[in-house]
Amino acid sequence: MMDVTKYHIGYYNPPKTEYRWVHKDHIEKAPAWCSVDLRDGNQSLIVPMSLEEKLEFFNLLVKIGFKEIEVGFPAASETEFEFLRTLIERDMIPDDVTVQVLTQCRDHIIRKTFEAVKGAPSAVIHFYNSTSVAQREQVFKKSKEEVKKIATDGAKLVKQLAGEYEGNFRFEYSPESFTGTEPEYALEVCNAVLDIMQPTPDKPMIINLPVTVAMSMSHIYANQIEYMSDNLKYRDSVVLSLHPHNDRGCAVADTELALLAGADRVEGTLFGNGERTGNVEIITLAMNLYSHGVDPKLDFSDMPAIVELYERVTRMHVYERTPYAGALVFAAFSGSHQDAIAKGMAWRAEHDLHEWTVPYIPVDPTDIGRTYDADVIRINSQSGKGGIGYLLEHRYGYNLPPKMREHFGYTVKSISDHAHKELTAPEVFQVFQNSYLNKTSPLNVAEAHYIQKNGIYAVVTLETGGEHREYSASGNGRLDAVSNAIKAGTGMDFSIEAYTEHSLTTGSTSQAATYVGLKWGDGTVTWGAGTDNDIIVASVKALVSAINNK
């Protein structure tokens, strides 16, 4: 049984009452990004990646544009040590990419970490210790001074070894479980570390303030970040970094508000894979910036390929509704949504717009390697005539008249409803062909000849049940004459209610598509479509198809 009395507020708001970040309405530029997929992401997999899989993932991150990549905790295991050494010895780290390694503030672990990064073109030594009330009291059983000394002793050793080892080193400190730490105490510890490391604008240090466990609403984290940003020493020499986890499902919001509050850098994973509920999703953050016209400095133009590699090497699944990357995030099944999207697409084309304004779709799917017909308009029993018509037109070139489009929409939805499944584009096209296109049974016009006499005089050979009979009639045009001949020969009672035509293709072999709607004596309306290189032949085929649909 649930018992709410077990729980209390475990976070700490800073001693500040006015915050500047609340008056900002957007993030003006991309932060520095650090992927921790090969550390937080990998350690959270049921089956961790093999060496070759990690190397492939590393290459993907480089291709996307990450300039900082945390490659692991090399002192923790031989596997992680070997991975880092392989990157260095195979010369796989580009000159403009910095690898980041993680180490606790413990003497032997720090020393082995420096051994691991020898020869790297550039490396961030990321050292940390936990500072929260719960960790101090329950895990370490140490006072504030004793916990601070762990941090400062670690900083001293890191600085000493940086002078003893050859390499291009940068440094990062994290007060782990920052969100469960009193802000004033977190500030005291970070400033003590900074006093030892003595960063400069030319050699800044990263201070990373992790949401190790999410405890508060997002605005509280932003308050904590602004307080730290305003009060850290050497602020012009500090890169203020975020590392949010997603325990409350708010990691993206935590990060965006914290960037408004003064943070400069974000550590996360592509799709949010990490401990417990995961890390913040960098793809979502970056694409959110992109959707506001801010260059994220990361390239997600081939999202399907990124998803494929990620799923293959991690054996994780990108949920279908994952923002931007999921298989269904652009999919519109609702009829009203499909109609709005189709009209929005038409509006852009008619007005030759560069700016993206289409309803329901926050970014142009083609920007990230998706397609309109396969990814946006999806057909099931909830679909509408607008989306079904859009798919038929843009995939196959058939632009049905509005009333026929509505009729076709109901036909498709009925089939999907009875089959209890989504219909693919080829299946939708097959329904169109079977239902309307060039139907020759039970009646067919085998031949039609025309004479200019009292308008147009048509001699029509009708085929029914294997028998051929010839009929003739006049009309105000060829189609009207054929229609009158059929009615005269069969006694059918109909009138041509609608007729449209257009070209399917261009060039000398262009095919024409025609559509005919017939209104019958009993008030019903039937539709037919026809295609042929000859527009008159196509029109007759559409007429016959509509008759055969009675």
**pTM for this prediction:** 0.81
**Residue 361's pLDDT is what?**
92
Residues whose CB falls within 8 Å of the CB of residue 110, separated by 6 or more in sequence, listed in order: 75, 103, 104, 125, 127, 154, 157, 158, 161
> Which pLDDT does position 375 carry in this prediction?
63
Rounded to whole angstroms, the Cα distance separating 342 from 319 reads: 26
H/E segment holding residue 194 = helix 183-197
Which residues, listed in sequence order, are joined to residue 386 by a DSSP beta bridge?
none
Summary mean pLDDT of the chain: 93
When pLDDT is cut at 50, 70 and 90, the band that residue 510 belongs to is confident
Q: Which of 401, 395, 402, 385 is nearest to 427 (CA)?
A: 395
- CA-CA-CA-CA torsion sign (397, 372, 404, 527): positive
Residue in the block written with tokens 């709607």: 517
Rounded CA gap, 296 and 432, in Å? 43
Does the structure show a pLDDT above 70 at 519? yes
pLDDT tens digits along 127-182: 999 999 999 999 999 999 999 999 999 999 999 999 999 889 999 999 999 999 99
Confidence class of residue 416 from pLDDT cuts 50, 70 and 90?
confident
Q: DSSP characters for 6-38?
A: G--------S----SGGG--S--SPPEEEE-II
pLDDT of 103 > 60? The answer is: yes
Tokens for 481, please give them. 């004459």
Report cis status (omega within 30 of 0) of the bond before 442: yes
Q: pLDDT above 90 covers what percent of the chain?
A: 82
With the CA atoms of 448, 450, 453 and 454 taken in that order, what torsion angle do they form, in degrees rounded to the nearest 10?
Answer: 60
* The pLDDT of residue 345: 87
pLDDT of residue 30: 98
Q: Nearest-CA neighbor of 200 among 225, 231, 171, 230?
A: 171
Q: How much is the pLDDT for 395?
A: 86
End-to-end CA distance of the chain: 63
pLDDT value at residue 391: 81
pLDDT recorded at residue 513: 96
Delineate the domains of the chain, giving CATH numbers in brackets.
28-314 (3.20.20.70), 335-422 (no CATH), 443-548 (3.30.160.270)
Secondary structure E strands in 292-409: none
Place of tokens 């440094």: 171
pLDDT band at 393 (very low <50, low <70, confident <90, very high): confident
pLDDT digits (tens, 9 = 90+) for 349-392: 999 999 999 999 999 999 999 987 656 666 765 666 667 887 88
Span of 21-25, 340-344, 469-473, 534-538 with lowest mean pLDDT: 340-344
What average pLDDT does range 312-321 have in this prediction? Answer: 96
3-state SS, one letter per residue, for 243-276? EEECCCCCHHHHHHHHHHCCCCEEEEECCCCCCC
Confidence of residue 316 (pLDDT cuts 50, 70, 90): very high
The pLDDT score that the predictor gives to residue 11 is 93
233 has pLDDT over 70: yes
Read off the DSSP letter of residue 241: E
* Region for residue 226 given its phi and psi (left: phi exceeds 0; alpha: psi -120 to 50; beta: otherwise): alpha
Q: Are strands 169-176 and 123-130 parallel, antiparallel or unpaired?
A: parallel
